[in-house]
């Protein structure tokens, strides 16, 4: 059966499902995104783009926001369509000579913020209202669909994965509606030593702050961090990876529509060098960076430690001795490793399998699930930061390790028009023997994070668990992890000797997933940032301030004491 016929068959089956997306193609090499809503809804009133019409012949434009005004720049940066290579979005790219308005805008914000518990407290209420309105708007089917498809256009992933990002964002806004914003600034008091003395602890904003976020979650990560910064009284400047910044540009317009003052957030599109220069000149009190460890370390040095990091992670999963629910565990492993083409900082990077699983059908089921992924529905798609050649070169290097073997994948995607600047690899798993993996000569290669559909698999005997835990300890980033077991003693051993900030434990454990109801962030690093919860917002976007009131009265018959 031809590729075109397969596409048509898949479209018919998907169209029969309620509220499910499909990806239609006029030719196998040139897919085009739609959902079941397409054609029935116009663009929302805040939108300045039409998702269906963004193309090389009708390119979209992305502007910058500074001091309350949307502005262009002297240079347009063209974004390449990751599915066919067309120049389909042009971004107003701020040059080094144009950063002055952004520096001035941040400098206008005092260190005590736009609001705090003792100044303009009514803004806590205002932001509760803004969140409520934005949550209501984002819950509307046509708005949710608009953002889901826009995410697909710039960071190709399945519709369900894109829609999940919108859902988490919408629930986050619901969580911080009404009075919940002011509850973030809840203070405490401690009785003093004498009458008239009382100590008060406050959550205090940093004032001018910066936010830098990556491409892989173009709505969820920047939105949650921007809103957290605003809730606590800061003024943020936001830079999103230009490849996907159109999503957040449209979201900011939605927030303006819901009452966000236009001067409260600046939005900039620029390259890394210019952004670094802006940060050095503006000297924000705090910068939140989500992205690669290499850039994170440079920024930490440049900004003299005034930074919070949610950087990369080589994330592990350990399957314990109790073998059960093989079909379910295989499915979760497939989702963790290959959903969004593995382009999640929480993606399953390495799978440690207890020897008891060796007689199960786990690996064959994982292979089956990986091979059913296809470009037509974007359950596998372009890799935006690693080329195909680089991915294949990494596979070849690992195959030189004694005892290593390819379990599945390891070949380029076929019959596509993904441009060569991006990667196109079939979901891949490679087995490396544990005793070889932990050797000094192999460990760095085997634990190199590959931001794509790739994972390492290894097996351990029960008496080798200390080797596994030592390997987890040696990894440099500790973002997410999973311990798949209902054996309480095993869980106790592994959880007590590991550090990852977001760790799932139990037979349903996974590495990916940052729902709105739990902390998501690394551990083991004082610079570690979180996202999503009240604890994360308070940790990242406020500091502790203590005010001790000591008003008297003076003790009766007080006299000047001797020097001490």
User: Are the C-beta atoms of residues 352 and 318 closer than 8 Å to each other?
Assistant: yes
Q: Is residue 517 part of a domain?
A: no
> Do both 327 and 179 map to the same domain?
no
Q: Is residue 339 part of a domain?
A: yes
> Do both 386 and 483 map to the same domain?
yes
- Confidence band for 20, pLDDT divided at 50, 70 and 90: very low
Sign of CA dihedral 155, 161, 166, 170: negative
Q: Is residue 15 part of a domain?
A: no
> Do both 303 and 367 map to the same domain?
no
Mean pLDDT (whole number) for 373-401: 97
Beta strands at 307-311 and 76-80: parallel, antiparallel or unpaired: unpaired
Domain with residue 171: its CATH number is 3.40.605.10
Q: Which of 14, 165, 174, 310 is catalytic?
A: 310
Containing structural domain, residue 442:
315-505
> Do both 275 and 356 map to the same domain?
no
- Confidence band for 32, pLDDT divided at 50, 70 and 90: very low
**Which residue stretches of 307-431 are H helix?**
326-338, 362-371, 388-399
Q: Please confirm, yes or no, whether 543 is among the known catalytic residues.
A: no
pLDDT higher than 80, residue 21: no
Q: What is the pLDDT of residue 26?
A: 31
Q: Is residue 450 part of a domain?
A: yes
Nearest to 458 by CA among 364, 365, 351, 316: 351
Q: What is the pLDDT of residue 15?
A: 37
pLDDT tens digits, residue range 249-296? 999 999 999 999 999 999 999 999 999 999 999 999 999 999 888 899
> Do both 282 and 339 map to the same domain?
no
> Do both 338 and 261 map to the same domain?
no
Q: Which of 7, 109, 340, 345 is catalytic?
A: 345
Convert 398-424 to b/e letters by CB count within 10 Å (16 or more is b). Answer: beebeebeebbbbeebeebbbbeebbb
Q: Please confirm, yes or no, whether 345 is among the known catalytic residues.
A: yes
> Do both 389 and 481 map to the same domain?
yes
Q: Is residue 234 part of a domain?
A: yes
What percent of the chain is modeled with pLDDT above 90? Answer: 89
What percent of the chain is modeled with pLDDT above 70? Answer: 93
> At which of 505, 522, 555 does a domain end?
505
pLDDT tens digits, residue range 411-432? 999 999 999 999 999 999 999 9
Q: Is 191 exposed, middle or buried, given 0-12, 13-18 or 19+ CB atoms closer than 10 A?
A: exposed
For 260, the token pair is: 């966000």
Q: Is residue 81 part of a domain?
A: no
Beta bridge partners of 429: 408, 455
pLDDT tens digits, residue range 417-473? 999 999 999 999 999 999 999 999 999 999 999 999 999 999 999 999 999 999 999
Nearest to 163 by CA among 7, 15, 35, 346: 35
Beta bridge partners of 25: 31
> Do both 230 and 264 map to the same domain?
yes
pLDDT tens digits, residue range 194-216? 999 999 999 999 999 999 999 99
Q: In which element (H, E) is residue 106 found?
A: helix 100-107
pLDDT higher than 90, residue 40: no
User: Are the C-beta atoms of residues 435 and 402 closer than 8 Å to each other?
Assistant: no
- Confidence band for 313, pLDDT divided at 50, 70 and 90: confident
Q: Is residue 6 part of a domain?
A: no
Q: Is residue 265 part of a domain?
A: yes
Nearest to 122 by CA among 204, 182, 201, 200: 182
> Do both 440 and 428 map to the same domain?
yes
pLDDT higher than 90, residue 81: yes
**Overall domain count for the chain:** 2
> Do both 416 and 464 map to the same domain?
yes
- Confidence band for 516, pLDDT divided at 50, 70 and 90: confident
Domain with residue 373: its CATH number is 3.40.309.10
> Do both 251 and 340 map to the same domain?
no
Q: Which of 117-121, 346-350, 514-518 has the lowest mean pLDDT?
A: 514-518
- Confidence band for 41, pLDDT divided at 50, 70 and 90: low
CB atoms within 10 A of CB 524: 14
Q: What is the pLDDT of residue 247?
A: 98
> Do both 306 and 346 map to the same domain?
no
């Amino acid at each position: 059966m031809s590729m075109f016929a397969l596409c048509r068959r898949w479209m018919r089956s998907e169209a029969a499902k309620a509220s499910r997306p499909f990806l239609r193609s006029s030719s196998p090499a040139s897919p085009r995104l739609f959902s079941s809503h397409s054609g029935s809804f116009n663009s929302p009133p805040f939108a300045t783009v039409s998702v269906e019409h963004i193309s090389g012949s009708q390119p979209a434009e992305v502007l910058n926001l500074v001091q309350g005004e949307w502005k262009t720049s002297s240079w347009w940066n063209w974004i390449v369509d990751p599915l066919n290579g067309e120049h389909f979005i042009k971004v107003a790219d701020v040059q080094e000579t144009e950063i002055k308005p952004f520096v001035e805008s941040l400098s206008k914000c005092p260190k005590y913020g736009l609001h705090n518990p003792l100044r303009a407290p009514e803004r806590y209420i205002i932001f509760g209202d803004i969140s409520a309105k934005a949550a209501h708007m984002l819950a509307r089917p046509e708005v949710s669909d608009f953002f889901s498809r826009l995410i697909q256009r710039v960071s190709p992933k399945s519709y369900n994965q894109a829609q999940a990002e919108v859902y988490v964002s919408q629930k986050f806004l619901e969580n911080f509606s009404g009075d919940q914003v002011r509850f973030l600034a809840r203070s405490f008091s401690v009785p003093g030593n004498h009458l008239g003395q009382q100590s008060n602890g406050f959550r205090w904003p940093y004032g001018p702050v910066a936010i830098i976020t990556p491409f892989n979650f173009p709505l969820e990560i920047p939105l949650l961090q921007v809103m957290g910064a605003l809730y606590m009284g800061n003024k943020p400047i936001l830079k999103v990876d230009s490849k996907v910044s159109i999503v957040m540009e449209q979201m900011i317009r939605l927030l303006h529509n819901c009452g966000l003052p236009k001067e409260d957030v600046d939005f900039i599109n620029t390259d890394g060098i210019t952004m670094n220069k802006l940060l050095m000149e503006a000297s924000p009190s705090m910068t939140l960076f989500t992205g690669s460890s290499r850039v994170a370390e440079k920024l930490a040095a440049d900004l003299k430690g005034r930074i919070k990091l949610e950087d990369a992670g080589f994330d592990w999963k350990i399957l314990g001795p109790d073998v059960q629910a093989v079909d379910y565990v295989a499915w979760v492993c497939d989702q963790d490793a290959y959903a969004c083409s593995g382009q999640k900082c929480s993606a399953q990077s390495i799978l440690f399998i207890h020897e008891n699983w060796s007689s199960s059908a786990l690996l064959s089921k994982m292979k089956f699930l990986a091979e059913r992924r296809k470009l037509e529905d974007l359950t596998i798609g372009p890799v935006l930061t690693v080329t195909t050649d680089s991915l294949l070169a990494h596979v070849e290097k690992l195959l030189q390790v004694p005892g290593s073997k390819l379990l599945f994948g390891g070949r380029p995607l076929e019959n596509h028009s993904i441009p060569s600047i991006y990667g196109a690899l079939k979901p891949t798993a490679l087995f490396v023997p544990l005793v070889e993996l932990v050797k000094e000569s192999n460990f760095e290669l085997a634990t190199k994070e590959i931001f794509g559909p790739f994972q390492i698999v290894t097996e351990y005997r029960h008496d080798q668990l200390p080797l596994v835990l030592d390997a987890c300890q040696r990894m440099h980033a500790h973002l997410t992890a999973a311990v798949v077991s209902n054996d309480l003693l095993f869980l106790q051993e592994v959880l007590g000797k590991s550090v990852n900030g977001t760790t799932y434990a139990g037979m349903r454990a996974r590495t990916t997933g940052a729902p709105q109801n739990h902390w998501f962030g690394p551990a083991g690093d004082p610079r570690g940032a979180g996202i999503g919860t009240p604890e994360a917002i308070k940790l990242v976007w406020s500091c502790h301030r203590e005010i001790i009131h000591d008003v008297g009265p003076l003790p009766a018959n007080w006299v000047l004491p001797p020097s001490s």
